[in-house]
Amino acid sequence: MATLASVSAFAQSSVTMTGIMDAGYQSGKEYGADAKTVVQNGSRTTAIKFIGVEDLGGGLKAKFQFEADPAITAANGNNNNVTLSTTNSQAVATAVGTAVTANGTTQTTNNATAQSGLVGAGYNYVMLESATLGSIEFGTINTNTLATQGLGAQKFGTAIGSGYKKIWAELTRYENSYKYTSPTISGFSGSYLVGVGNDSQYGSTSTVVLRRSAINELGLNYDQGPISAKFSTLSSTSSANEAPVSGTAAAGSNVKTTYNTLAATYDFGKAKVGYGYQTSKNNAGLDTAATPLDHSLSLKAQMYTLTAPVGNLLFLANVGSRTTNNMGSTAAKQTALNGQKSTFTGLGAHYNFSKNTYAYYMYERATMSDVDMTATISNGAANNNSTSDRTRNVTAIGISSAF
């Protein structure tokens, strides 16, 4: 951590730079395609953060953070040759890139919540924090759901072996949001996050650059003694102008999806055990009578984790599963995939050189039996549900260093 500036005329202030660099070699098979590459974030997310704090007196502080998440191995994103279908249980029933008519203009949808125009796409905020009243922050805010998932996955975080984006839904952070976090009292705290959404943001007279869902999230947390626990309930409502999957407005617009996530850990000293559970459901409902396809997806996922330190070593283990109903882009595929269970195993080890730097070994095996694999691309060829390889089996060896 480096201190860049300090001291102002009226109050004590500082700006520090901190972050993580993480990269290594990854090999294995991803849905039938070879995956051999040097890739980052095998154990932790590579990031550079600038954090400012000013003491305003009376227990009140002003804070800000700018986080950049740089690509240090492949800036164009072509780290491997696999594209997994986005038609899965974590997506609202929407086809990205589908032309629709809204506000009198032909538009192109893009469900992205990532920061397309901002370097970094990280957790960025400006905040007022009171020791007695809690904090309020505005910006692109991390969800309590992300922290809940991270607790359930323990030291796997959101990296290889965690189940992030596979067993867990991708609910990291949201633009155009604000969040209140209560003070901690006897180990308990709470938070409330609002993402205001965006129906139409024009890049030109004929194209919508971003269309964001409206977000509401309530988080409850407990951390005292050997027990840590988190619960988050997050609801996401798609734009009124959202594109449908199969030609009807009901399938894409104003769809509300609710995610409930619970996780807890208990530290025995010699080892720490954890459990995570997540459900999601939306109300997309049926298409027209001519295409009676039910888009009302529902999901149930769970994880069991174990971490055990032995000298300079830390051993990690993680197993989980997910079951999805009403999955697939056609009625026939939904029938085939309904009730199917995806399974997940993660193993890992850290060798700690210091409190900031360690070498790691991470292993992940995922069998995605509940996913519509039609749009999955391996070695340039599209798969289908009958012949596609549903297994991701990869190993990563690398170095992670914080500063």
State the pLDDT at residue 237. 87
When pLDDT is cut at 50, 70 and 90, the band that residue 257 belongs to is confident
Question: Rounded distance, CA 97 to CA 116, Å?
Answer: 16
Comparing CA positions, the residue from 253, 229, 231, 251 lying closest to residue 102 is 253
Question: Rounded distance, CA 127 to CA 52, Å?
Answer: 10
State the pLDDT at residue 313. 98
The tokens describing 99, both together, are: 């032309």
Q: Is 60 exceeded by the pLDDT of residue 99?
A: no
State the pLDDT at residue 117. 46
Residue 4, class by beta-carbon neighbours within 10 Å (0-12 exposed, 13-18 middle, 19+ buried)? exposed
C-alpha neighbours within 13 Å on the C-beta side of residue 253: 14
Which residue has 């995956």 as its token pair?
Answer: 35
Residue 41, class by beta-carbon neighbours within 10 Å (0-12 exposed, 13-18 middle, 19+ buried)? buried
Of residues 121 and 2, the one with the higher pLDDT is 121
228 φ, ψ (degrees, to nearest 5): -130, 135
Q: Is 70 exceeded by the pLDDT of residue 236?
A: yes
Q: Is 60 exceeded by the pLDDT of residue 91?
A: no
Contact 180, 136 (CB under 8 A): yes
13 φ, ψ (degrees, to nearest 5): -145, 160
Mean pLDDT taken over the chain: 80
Digit-coded pLDDT (tens) for 295-326: 566 789 999 999 999 999 999 999 999 998 76
Quick one: average pLDDT of 355-367?
96
Of residues 234 and 377, the one with the higher pLDDT is 234
Contact 158, 46 (CB under 8 A): no
Digit-coded pLDDT (tens) for 141-159: 999 999 999 999 999 988 9
State the pLDDT at residue 238. 80
Contact 370, 359 (CB under 8 A): no
84 φ, ψ (degrees, to nearest 5): -80, 140
Q: Is 90 exceeded by the pLDDT of residue 330?
A: no
State the pLDDT at residue 33. 78
When pLDDT is cut at 50, 70 and 90, the band that residue 383 belongs to is low
Residue type, 319: V
pLDDT above 90 covers a percentage of the chain that reads 52
**Beta strand pairing call for 377-378 and 60-68:** unpaired
State the pLDDT at residue 331. 65
36 φ, ψ (degrees, to nearest 5): -130, 110
When pLDDT is cut at 50, 70 and 90, the band that residue 254 belongs to is confident
Boundaries of every domain in the chain: 2-76+83-402
State the pLDDT at residue 92. 30
State the pLDDT at residue 384. 55
State the pLDDT at residue 223. 97
Contact 241, 199 (CB under 8 A): yes
Q: In CATH, what number does 2-76+83-402 get?
A: 2.40.160.10
Range of lowest pLDDT (1-15, 162-176, 372-386, 389-403): 372-386
When pLDDT is cut at 50, 70 and 90, the band that residue 351 belongs to is very high
Q: What 3 state SS string does the chain have?
A: CEEEEECCCCCCEEEEEEEEEEEEEEEEEECCEECCEEEECCCCCCEEEEEEEEEEECCEEEEEEEEECCCCCCCCCCCCCEECCCCCCCCCCCCCCCEEEECCEEEECCCCCCCCCCCCECCEEEEEEECCCEEEEEEEEECHHHHHHHHHHHHHCCCCCCCECCCECCCCEEEEEEEEECCCECCEEEEEEEECCEEEEECCCCCEEEEECEEEEEEEEEEECCEEEEEEEEEEECCCCCCCCCCCHHHCCCCEEEEEEEEEEEECCCCEEEEEEEEEEECCCECCCCCCCECCCEEEEEEEEEEEEECCEEEEEEEEEEEEECCCCCHHHHHHHCCCEEEEEEEEEEEECCCCEEEEEEEEEEECCCCCCCCCEECCEECCCCCCCCEEEEEEEEEEEEC
Compute how many other C-beta atoms are within 10 angstroms of the C-beta atom of residue 280.
21
Which range in 69-83, 252-266, 267-281 is most confidently predicted, on average pLDDT?
Answer: 267-281
State the pLDDT at residue 210. 54
When pLDDT is cut at 50, 70 and 90, the band that residue 26 belongs to is very high
Region label for 298, one of left (φ > 0), alpha (ψ between -120 and 50) or beta (otherwise): beta
Q: Is 90 exceeded by the pLDDT of residue 136?
A: yes
CA dist 399 → 26, 71, 84, 150 (Å):
12, 15, 27, 20
State the pLDDT at residue 371. 77
Compute how many other C-beta atoms are within 10 angstroms of the C-beta atom of residue 205.
8
When pLDDT is cut at 50, 70 and 90, the band that residue 116 belongs to is very low
Compute how many other C-beta atoms are within 10 angstroms of the C-beta atom of residue 229.
19
